Amino acid sequence: MRNPLITKYNVPGPRYTSYPTVPYWDNENFSLKDWKETFKKSFSASNKKEGISLYIHLPFCESMCTFCGCTKRITKNHSLETPYIKAVLKELTLYRDLVGERPVIQQIHLGGGTPTFFSEANLATLMTGIFKVADKAAACEMSFEGHPNNTTLEHLETLESFGFTRVCYGVQDYNETVQKAINRIQPFAHVQRATDQARQAGYTSVGHDIIYGLPFQTLDCVKNTIEKTIQLFPDRIAFYSYAHVPWIKGNGQRGYDAANLPTAEEKREQYETGKQLLLEAGYVEIGMDHFALPTDDLYHAQQEERIHRNFMGYNASKTQVMLGLGVSAISDSWYSFAQNVKGLSEYYHLLENNILPVFRGHILTDEDLKIRQHILNLMCHFKTSWNEPALYFEELPEVLIKLKELEADGLLVFETKALRVTEKGKPFVRNICLPFDLRLQRNKPETKLFSMTV
Q: Is 248 annotated as a binding residue?
A: no
Q: Is 114 annotated as a binding residue?
A: yes
Angle between helix 219-232 and 188-200 (nearest 10): 30
Helix, strand, or coil (residue 345): helix
Pairing of strands 236-241, 166-172: unpaired
Q: Is 437 annotated as a binding residue?
A: no
Closest CA to 209 of 226, 231, 190: 226
Q: Is 55 annotated as a binding residue?
A: yes
Give dist(CA 18, CA 39) in Å, integer: 17
Apex CA 152: angle with CA 183 and CA 180, to 5°?
Answer: 10
Give dist(CA 107, CA 137) in Å, integer: 8
Q: Is 425 annotated as a binding residue?
A: no
Q: Is 113 annotated as a binding residue?
A: yes
Q: Is 24 annotated as a binding residue?
A: no
Do the Cβ atoms of 175 and 217 come closer than 8 Å?
yes
Give dist(CA 45, CA 321) in Å, integer: 9
Q: Is 51 annotated as a binding residue?
A: no
Residue 11 neighbours by CB under 8 Å, 6+ apart: 431, 452, 453
Q: Is 243 annotated as a binding residue?
A: yes
Give dist(CA 133, CA 89) in Å, integer: 9
Q: Is 337 annotated as a binding residue?
A: no
Residue 351 neighbours by CB under 8 Å, 6+ apart: 87, 90, 91, 94, 357
Residue 284 neighbours by CB under 8 Å, 6+ apart: 291, 292, 293, 294, 299, 302
Q: Is 112 annotated as a binding residue?
A: yes
DSSP letter for each residue of 140-184: EEEEEEE-TTT--HHHHHHHHHTT--EEEEEEE---HHHHHHHT-
Residue 250 neighbours by CB under 8 Å, 6+ apart: none
Residues making up the binding site for [4Fe-4S] cluster:
61, 65, 68
Residues making up the binding site for S-adenosyl-L-methionine:
55, 67-69, 112-114, 145, 172, 184, 209, 243, 330
Residues making up the binding site:
55, 61, 65, 67-69, 112-114, 145, 172, 184, 209, 243, 330
